Amino acid sequence: MRFGVVTFPGSNCDYDAYAALKRVLCAPVEFLWHGDSDLKDVDCVILPGGFSFGDYLRPGAIARFSPVMKSVIRFAETGGLVWGICNGFQVLLEAELIPGAILRNESLRFACQWVRLRVDSNRTPYTRGTRPGDILRMPVAHADGAYYADDETLMDLETSGQVVFRYVNAEGIPDEKSNPNGSRRSIAGISNREGNVLGMMPHPERAVEPILGSEDGLTLFKSLLGTTATGVDSPLRKRVVSDRGV
């Protein structure tokens, strides 16, 4: 599987995603430029974290109309894998590839902390190496991260199994204290109905080596690469779902 990481003006996690794939997972990965419409025949497009176009107007609102996004939208609609992380999640929401919107954190503070994510759906290519209920530790770093959708949309997301991750406490229960930004129903990540498009606020690419504090992000990359499910051809240590204190 070949990956492409999009760089927008103001992206700042593009190199993190690139390094996670190239150096840690030894997977083929290329940068894609926001001003090009060429996706270089990759199998999975990553829209990285950062502050594309300075977060002007709304996070993701300007990036969503970049030339590259025309191709990304077409790619997603034909079943291509598109993974939006943090600012990339906001871009996906603005592009209406997944439903809802992101609001300023309820606390009005920039949330830079470790969170626990509970996997609520393993019916996506990103989570098929997990079991529902697994808890993954990853960092979040955002000022605008409160997921919002109206009641009807939320109900629809829940019933169709599109809620992929929720912020939870050590017991795996979503509560107010574990929710870093005021997201409705503690939602941290959702997919489209088909599961090929995933958007999430936390940063799996920043949790891929012990020195970073967690390797749980690898679970998602390895699910995509098909190594977790089969346990073959992985140069890496076996995944351990850690649950050290946050």
Spatial distance between the Cα atoms of 101 and 20, rounded to a whole number of angstroms? 28
13, 86, 94, 142: the active-site residue: 86
Q: Does 211 bind another protein (CB under 8 A)?
A: no
21, 27 in Cβ contact below 8 A? yes
Structure tokens at 23: 């150096």
Selected from 28, 38, 57, 231, the binder of another protein by CB under 8 A is 57
Check binding of 110 to another protein (CB under 8 A): no
Only segment of 43-51, 67-75, 98-106, 164-172 that touches another protein (CB under 8 A): 98-106
100 or 217: CB nearest another protein: 100
Using the rule CB under 8 A, give the single segment among 12-20, 33-41, 106-114, 204-212 that binds another protein: 106-114
| From 32-40, 147-155, 172-180, 188-196, span contacting another protein (CB under 8 A) | 147-155
Pair of tokens at residue 198: 């995933």
86 belongs to the catalytic site? yes
HSE-CB at 130 with a 13 A cutoff on CA atoms is 28
Q: Which amino acid is at 215?
A: E
Q: Which of 22, 58, 128, 185 binds another protein (CB under 8 A)?
A: 58
Pick 44 or 102: Cβ nearer another protein:
102
| In contact, 236 and 208? CB cutoff 8 Å | no
Please check whether residue 126 is in contact with residue 199, taking contact to mean a CB–CB distance below 8 angstroms.
no
Q: Tell me the DSSP string of 7-75.
A: E-TTB-SHHHHHHIIIIIS---EEEEETT----TT-SEEEE--B-GGGG-SSTTTTGGGSHHHHHHHHH
- Can 203 be counted among the known catalytic residues? yes
Q: Select the residue interacting with another protein from 20, 27, 146, 198 (CB under 8 A).
A: 146
**84 binds another protein per the rule CB under 8 A:** no
Contact between 156 and another protein by CB under 8 A: the answer reads: no
DSSP 177: G
Q: Which is nearer to another protein, 25 or 149 (CB)?
A: 149
Per CB under 8 A, 182 contacts another protein: yes
| Collapsed DSSP state (helix, strand, coil) of residue 140 | strand
Give me the least distance between CB of 101 and another protein, in Å please. Answer: 4
If the CB atoms of residues 94 and 216 are measured against another protein, the closer one turns out to be 94
| Residue 101 engages another protein in binding (rule: CB under 8 A) | yes
Give residues with Cβ within 8 angstroms of 146, minimum separation 6: 102, 103, 104, 105, 106, 181, 182, 183, 184
Using CB under 8 A, list all residues that contact another protein.
57-58, 61, 65, 93-94, 99-101, 103-108, 146, 148-150, 182
Catalytically active residues are: 86, 203, 205
